[in-house]
Amino acid sequence: MPGSKKSIVSIRRRFEPRPVSTSCCKKRAGFLEAEGPMEKTFKFKQNELADAVDQGTANKKFDLKLPEFGPYNLDYSRNGRELLLVGKKGHIASLDWRKGAISSEHYVNETCHAIKSLHNDQYYAVAQKKYTFIYDKTGTELHRLKQHIEATLLDFLPYHFLLATAGNTGYLKYHDVSTGDLVSELRTKLGPTQAMKQNPWNAVMHLGHGNGTVSLWSPNMSTPLVKIQASRGPVRDLAIDREGKYMAVAGMDKSLKIWDLRKLSEVDSYYTPTPASSLDISDNGLLSVGWSSHVTIWKNVFKNKQKDPYMNHLLPGSKVEKACFVPFEDVLGIGHQHGFSSIIAPGAGEANFDALELNPYETAKQRQQQEVRSLINKLAPDTISLDPNVIGTVDKRASSIRLGPGQIDDIKNNGEKKMDIRADVKGKNSALRKHMRKKRQNVIDERKLRIEKNLKVEKDARQRRHREFKGIPEEKDLLGPALARFK
């Protein structure tokens, strides 16, 4: 047939796989670039940047003057839409910072230390003078967490639905906000906690203490997983990058140290003119350092030693309380003594985000569906460990150490034969009770409940044997055959 060869070739080309690069989004974050060796990016002012960018980006630079209730702490929702502000003197506000629409604003007339958004922009927690409270988007008080006393630091583990608190009491507490249960209560034994951040990669909590150490905690361990002597003075703040590889620690000795969490070793060290009060790391690895009335942004600090900072911003006469990057945006929010400031930080946000994970433009229906999916996929607290890749692997030693059915029966029979009849005495110093009292006294898990149940069964069996030895009839035998079945 004429032209058949040409048609076959065209059909073959039509069904050939196309290059993968054509289906990938190639958007990249844009950074500031100096034109010559004499020009420095940290000398650029915010007014100059606002004139050089488009109108939509320029509108993201604004200031809120709130001098009466400062200094202000802040937090953004996980998708970056909602801004949460809390003043030290009791002013709490929630607003859509892009539209400038206030969702709620109220005054609690007591000291407030921290604020944290929960699994979506509908709920947030506030650490107040004595207790920690949970509010909804309209400012209505939903819960008062009486177990969390004098908390000054808050964090939230979104994949475990755990609210973590720490503060003046020296305890780290985990609260499941989906069930309302207190998962664990861990005593650090290192005094009041100065700083607290989570590792986004493995959900391990990093706590900074007054003696310069940083301890790593998991809710299923009563002792720290790792202790690092990170500073010579008290730890002011710390931050962990998104991949969980590097940690930045600011100390009272004016030091800013970069640590490699894979090797637990120090990589680089910087110094600030005054002790830093706030640290945060953006999606693309920019490090913001708030000290005195300045905010300095560093670029590529995790790759090599930097000579000059990337950006610098001055807030005249207003001490910085906290600086926080907006998710998926080239914006840095700053809470300070006289209110709140939002500045432009080119290159900070992730350009290619997964809308199925976090969607800044989600509708109410999508938010509800995402909440249901998150609850279905919620992880158990005992899955938190230093290496999350261990979960799901097969222990090759299991076949050699596993007991067979016959061995289990032998152990059970030998245990019944060796049970001695003795008086009911409280064994306060037994090895098992020591283990429960010292090692895992603050951890509530299935193992502890199982041990308590086995101890109760053993105690009942011992009492029954003691009564049989002395000839004392059981209580159900005294009731007679008619009433014994109700016992």
Q: How many CA atoms lie within 13 A of 293 on its CB side?
A: 8
> Looking at 339, 362, 385, which one is the last position of a domain?
362
Residue 386 forms part of a structural domain = no
Question: What does the pLDDT read at residue 36?
Answer: 81
C-beta atoms surrounding 312 within 10 Å = 17
Do 338 and 467 lie in one domain? The reply is: no
Instruction: Report the alpha-carbon angle 238-242-244, nearest 5.
Output: 70
3-state secondary structure of 53: coil
Order of strands across the sheet that contains 287-291: 276-281, 287-291, 294-298, 311-314
116 within 8 A of 154, measured Cβ to Cβ: yes
Q: What is the pTM of this model?
A: 0.77
Whole-angstrom distance, CA of residue 209 vs CA of residue 171? 12
> Element (H or E) spanning 468, and its range?
helix 446-470
Residue with tokens 């996929």: 377
Burial of 294 (0-12, 13-18, 19+ CB in 10 A): middle
83 within 8 A of 99, measured Cβ to Cβ: no
Residue with tokens 């929630």: 94
113 within 8 A of 335, measured Cβ to Cβ: no
126 within 8 A of 115, measured Cβ to Cβ: yes
DSSP 74-96: EEE-TTS-EEEEEETTSEEEEEE
> Looking at 333, 362, 391, which one is the last position of a domain?
362
Residue with tokens 């000291």: 111
Which of 285, 312, 399, 251 is CA-nearest to residue 29? 285
Which of 153, 76, 79 is CA-nearest to residue 114? 153
Question: What does the pLDDT read at residue 355?
Answer: 85
Do 314 and 417 lie in one domain? The reply is: no
| Helices marked H in 92-194 | none
Do 289 and 427 lie in one domain? The reply is: no
Report DSSP state, residue 103: E
Residue 121 forms part of a structural domain = yes
> Element (H or E) spanning 135, and its range?
strand 132-136
CATH of the domain at 319: 2.130.10.10
Whole-angstrom distance, CA of residue 120 vs CA of residue 81? 10
Kindly state the tokens that stand for 9. Answer: 């070739």
Question: What does the pLDDT read at residue 19?
Answer: 58
Residue 374 forms part of a structural domain = no
Q: What is the mean pLDDT of each run of 10 residues along the chain (487 residues)?
A: 57 61 60 85 91 91 92 94 95 93 94 95 95 94 94 96 95 94 94 95 95 94 93 95 95 95 93 95 94 95 93 94 94 95 92 87 92 93 89 68 65 59 58 65 70 88 84 66 54
Kindly give, in sequence order, each residue whose CB lies less than 8 Å from that of residue 330, ignoring residues fewer than 6 positions away. 29, 30, 57, 344, 345, 346, 347, 348, 349
DSSP 184-237: EEEE-SSSS--EEEE-TTT--EEEE-TTSEEEEE-TT-SS-SEEEE--SS-EEE
Kindly state the tokens that stand for 109. Answer: 């007339």
92 within 8 A of 85, measured Cβ to Cβ: yes
Which of 381, 376, 400 is CA-nearest to residue 391? 381
Residue 417 forms part of a structural domain = yes
Do 96 and 194 lie in one domain? The reply is: yes
Do 122 and 265 lie in one domain? The reply is: yes
Do 421 and 337 lie in one domain? The reply is: no
Do 344 and 426 lie in one domain? The reply is: no
Do 268 and 186 lie in one domain? The reply is: yes
Do 118 and 200 lie in one domain? The reply is: yes
Question: What does the pLDDT read at residue 64?
Answer: 94
Structural domain count of the chain: 2
Do 357 and 405 lie in one domain? The reply is: no
> Looking at 345, 362, 379, which one is the last position of a domain?
362
Q: Is 162 left (phi over 0), alpha (psi -120 to 50) or beta?
A: beta
Residues, the chain:
487
DSSP 255-317: EEEEEETTTTEEEEEEE-SS-EEEEEE-TT--EEEEETTEEEEESSTTTS--SS-SEEEE-TT
Burial of 411 (0-12, 13-18, 19+ CB in 10 A): exposed
Question: What does the pLDDT read at residue 446?
Answer: 73
Residue with tokens 């506000």: 93
Whole-angstrom distance, CA of residue 424 vs CA of residue 291? 63
- State the residue range of the domain holding 407: 401-478
The β-bridge relationship of strands 331-336 and 82-87 is unpaired
Residue 411 forms part of a structural domain = yes
Order of strands across the sheet that contains 195-198: 195-198, 205-208, 213-217, 226-229
Whole-angstrom distance, CA of residue 61 vs CA of residue 333? 9
Do 170 and 67 lie in one domain? The reply is: yes
Kindly state the tokens that stand for 222. Answer: 């009563």
Do 356 and 405 lie in one domain? The reply is: no
Residue 30 forms part of a structural domain = no
Question: What does the pLDDT read at residue 415?
Answer: 57
